[in-house]
Chains A and B, each alone.
Chain A
Amino acid sequence: MSAFWLYVFTLIFFLFDYFILAMGLNIQYGETGILNFAYIGFVAIGAYMTGAVSMPNSVGTGQHYILGLNMPFPFNLLVGGLSAMVVSVLVAFIALRRLRTDYLAMVLISLSLVFYDICNNYVPLFNGADGLYNVPSPLAGVLHLTTNSFTVVFALLTGVISLIMWWIMSRITRSPLGRTLRAIRDDDGVAAALGKSVFRYKLTSMMIGSFFAGIGGGLIIQFNTSFNPSAWLPGETFVVFAVIIVGGVSNNIGLLVGSLLVETMLVHLVAFLPAIPGHPGLILNIAAMMIGALLMVMLWFRPQGIVPEKLRRSPAAVAAATTSTDYAGIDEGVSHE
Chain B
Amino acid sequence: MSDQSVSRADSALGCQDLTKSFLGVRAVNGATFEVPRGQITALIGPNGAGKTTVVNILSGLMKSDGGTMHLESTETTNWESEKIARLGLMRTFQLSRELGGLTVLENLLVAPHDQPGEKLFNIFFRPGRVTKAEKAHVERALEVLRTYGLYELRDSRASDLSGGQKKLLEISRAVMAGPKVLLLDEPMAGVNPALIERIGGYILDLKAQGVTVLMVEHNLNVVEKICDHVIVLAEGRTLATGRLSDLRENKEVVSAYLGEVIDAGAIS
Which residues of A are at the interface with B, using a C-beta cutoff of 8 A?
A: 168, 171-172, 175-177, 179-180, 182-183, 185-187, 189-198, 201, 204, 208, 309, 311-314, 317-318, 320-322, 327, 330-337
Interface size on B, residues (CB 8 A): 56
Q: Name the distance in Å between A164's Cβ and chain B's nearest Cβ.
A: 12
Closest 3 CB pairs of A and B: A176-B117, A195-B85, A321-B138
Q: Nearest CB to that of A331 among chain B residues? A: B152
A193-B81, A193-B90, A337-B165 known; A187 and B103 CB under 8 Å? no
Tell me whether B162 and A186 are in contact (CB under 8 A). Answer: no
B93: chain A residues within 8 A (beta carbon): 190
Tell me whether A321 and B135 are in contact (CB under 8 A). Answer: yes
Annotate B123-151 by CB proximity to A: 1 below 8 A, 0 otherwise.
11000001101110011001000100111
A179 contact from B106, B119, B133, Cβ within 8 A: B106
A198: chain B residues within 8 A (beta carbon): 82
Residue B115 at the chain A interface, CB threshold 8 Å: yes
The distance in angstroms between the C-alpha atoms of A204 and B61, with both chains bound, is 23
A176-B115, A179-B110 known; A333 and B85 CB under 8 Å? no
> DSSP class of A's interface residues: helix, strand, loop or mixed?
helix
Tell me whether B110 and A337 are in contact (CB under 8 A). Answer: no
The distance in angstroms between the C-alpha atoms of A60 and B30, with both chains bound, is 74
10 A-B pairs whose Cβ atoms sit less than 8 Å apart in the complex: A175-B118, A176-B109, A183-B110, A186-B100, A193-B91, A194-B85, A195-B86, A195-B177, A318-B142, A332-B152
Using a CB-CB cutoff of 8 Å, which residues 106-120 of chain B contact chain A?
Answer: 106, 109-111, 113, 115-120
Tell me whether B91 and A311 are in contact (CB under 8 A). Answer: no
Residue B173 at the chain A interface, CB threshold 8 Å: yes
Residue B80 at the chain A interface, CB threshold 8 Å: yes
A186: chain B residues within 8 A (beta carbon): 99-102
Tell me whether A194 and B90 are in contact (CB under 8 A). Answer: yes
Tell me whether B61 and A171 are in contact (CB under 8 A). Answer: no
Tell me whether B149 and A335 are in contact (CB under 8 A). Answer: yes
Tell me whether A193 and B151 are in contact (CB under 8 A). Answer: no
B101 contact from A172, A175, A185, Cβ within 8 A: A185
The distance in angstroms between the C-alpha atoms of A185 and B99, with both chains bound, is 9
Q: Nearest CB to that of A180 among chain B residues? A: B118
Tell me whether A321 and B142 are in contact (CB under 8 A). Answer: yes
A191-B110, A334-B152 known; A309 and B101 CB under 8 Å? yes
Tell me whether B90 and A314 are in contact (CB under 8 A). Answer: no
Tell me whether A318 and B152 are in contact (CB under 8 A). Answer: no
The distance in angstroms between the C-alpha atoms of A172 and B106, with both chains bound, is 15
Q: Nearest CB to that of A317 among chain B residues? A: B138
Q: Name the distance in Å between B261's Cβ and chain A's nearest Cβ.
A: 26
Which residues of B are at the interface with A, using a C-beta cutoff of 8 A?
A: 59-61, 80-82, 85-86, 90-91, 93, 97, 99-103, 105-106, 109-111, 113, 115-120, 123-124, 130-131, 133-135, 138-139, 142, 146, 149-155, 157, 162, 164-165, 173, 177, 192, 194-195
A321: chain B residues within 8 A (beta carbon): 135, 138-139, 142
Tell me whether B82 and A311 are in contact (CB under 8 A). Answer: no
Tell me whether A182 and B99 are in contact (CB under 8 A). Answer: yes
A334 contact from B86, B151, B177, Cβ within 8 A: B151
B134: chain A residues within 8 A (beta carbon): 176, 317, 320
Q: Nearest CB to that of A320 among chain B residues? A: B135
Which residue among A193, A196, A321 has the maximum number of chain B CB atoms within 10 Å of its CB? A193
Which residue among B91, B99, B105 has the maximum number of chain A CB atoms within 10 Å of its CB? B99
The distance in angstroms between the C-alpha atoms of A179 and B90, with both chains bound, is 19
Q: Name the distance in Å between B158's Cβ and chain A's nearest Cβ.
A: 8
Tell me whether B173 and A194 are in contact (CB under 8 A). Answer: yes
Tell me whether A176 and B130 are in contact (CB under 8 A). Answer: yes
A313 contact from B99, B103, B111, B146, Cβ within 8 A: B103
The distance in angstroms between the C-alpha atoms of A176 and B133, with both chains bound, is 10
Tell me whether B142 and A327 are in contact (CB under 8 A). Answer: yes
Which residue among A176, A320, A335, A336 has the maximum number of chain B CB atoms within 10 Å of its CB? A176
Q: Name the distance in Å between A248's Cβ and chain B's nearest Cβ.
A: 13
Tell me whether B150 and A334 are in contact (CB under 8 A). Answer: yes
B113 contact from A187, A195, A327, A330, Cβ within 8 A: A195
Q: Name the distance in Å between B78's Cβ and chain A's nearest Cβ.
A: 14
The distance in angstroms between the C-alpha atoms of A179 and B118, with both chains bound, is 9
Q: Name the distance in Å between A291's Cβ and chain B's nearest Cβ.
A: 26
Tell me whether A335 and B120 are in contact (CB under 8 A). Answer: no
A314-B155, A337-B164 known; A192 and B80 CB under 8 Å? yes
Q: Nearest CB to that of B111 among chain A residues? A: A194
Q: Name the distance in Å between B43's Cβ and chain A's nearest Cβ.
A: 18
Which residue among A185, A192, A317 has the maximum number of chain B CB atoms within 10 Å of its CB? A317
